[in-house]
Amino acid sequence: MSDLRNNSILGAGLAAVLGVMLVGIGAETLVHPNYPEKAAFLPDVVIEGPATAGPVGPPDFGRLFADPAGLQELITRGERVHAQCVSCHNFDAGGPNAIGPNLHDVFGRPVASHAGFEYSEGMHAHGGNWDYLALNEFLTSPSSVVRGTKMAFAGIRNDQDRTALIAFLRSISPNNVPLPAPLPEAVPVAAEGDAAATTTETAAPAPAH
């Protein structure tokens, strides 16, 4: 009886071991782990070429508008851009005011000065003239520049479209506003190594004769 009992216990243990092995084989069959054969590292990304200072400030009206061919392209584009304004503004000479004032001669005229239109207090307080820089700033975000303006327009964030619209407004206006001076051209920003080498070369003493 003792041998029979021992054999039963041994058989139960072997069955348990075989069961665990079968479960492991089944799991590997269902799930295929995908590991690389060799350890790897993410590559370092290196951007070659000199860094340049990004555009800061308003468009370079003095340079853009001084080129006749380029100016005509801007005016043509601006005429398309102004289509989003015609629901609130009239652009014809002597045309009536609409939801907003007539904009035929807005370029160069004093702020809040078009006859027959009731401007907001914020617009009256803004002052100045609608020149290149004033129009560029206002058209970027009207409500940010003139607090309390009645103009419910988010603005034109695209620099090219905004510059083109200003070119169009200038083309239909009888007011003559001189071009501002061209802005200085952007200078490439030297790398730290180049700057150090330049400093070293500049500070090196002249060879003795």
- Listed by start position, the domains of the chain span 56-172
> Can you tell me whether residue 30 is helix, strand or coil?
helix
Is residue 148 within 8 A of residue 162, CB to CB? The reply is: no
Write down the residue that tokens 């160069």 correspond to.
108
List, for residues 138-158, the tens digit of each pLDDT value: 999 999 999 989 888 899 999
Distance, in Å, from the CA atom of 128 to the CA atom of 108, rounded to the nearest integer, reads 10
DSSP state of 98: -
Mean pLDDT, to the nearest integer, of 36-41? 43
Q: What does each C-alpha distance from 131 to 7, 118, 170 come to in angstroms?
A: 104, 21, 9
List, for residues 2-22, the tens digit of each pLDDT value: 554 555 555 555 555 555 565
% of the chain residues with pLDDT over 70: 62
Task: Please state, rounded to an integer, the average pLDDT across all residues of the chain.
Answer: 78
- Model pTM score: 0.64
List, for residues 115-140, the tens digit of each pLDDT value: 999 999 999 999 999 999 999 999 99
The number of CA neighbours under 13 Å toward the Cβ of 4 is 1
List, for residues 81-106, the tens digit of each pLDDT value: 999 999 999 999 999 999 999 999 99
CATH number corresponding to 56-172: 1.10.760.10
Distance, in Å, from the CA atom of 202 to the CA atom of 199, rounded to the nearest integer, reads 5
| Residue 205: per-residue pLDDT | 53
| Residue 5: per-residue pLDDT | 52
